[in-house]
Structure 1
């Protein structure tokens, strides 16, 4: 193989690897952001409220 073809092949493979990695990171970030938002919304809806005493004061935590 001539040196020019080897250089072109190396550039092509490097570019493909870079684009694949960056595209994969974008997908992973988007999925993680979606999961975080859904988890936050679920936590808001299924959180059990603490009962408050009749006098309106917050009980001391142990």
Structure 2
């Protein structure tokens, strides 16, 4: 018996520093991917914070 795994690739446009907005877009993409049968969703690296993060990670109020 062969098992399969459906993987969705999400080419989302991250907005630098807008973690909440990026999460909202990811949740929407995940719902669509799940509806289409995907069990896993893959995003670009550093999608949540936007890329590049540079000095954002040094701010106390970031994440």
What band does the TM-score fall into relative to the shorter chain?
0.3 to 0.5
Q: Greater Rg, structure 1 or structure 2?
A: 1
Question: TM-score with structure 2 length normalisation?
Answer: 0.32
- Larger relative contact order (Cα-Cα within 8 Å, sequence gap ≥ 6): 2
Structure number having the greater strand percentage: 2
Structure number having the greater helix percentage: 1
Question: TM-score with structure 1 length normalisation?
Answer: 0.33
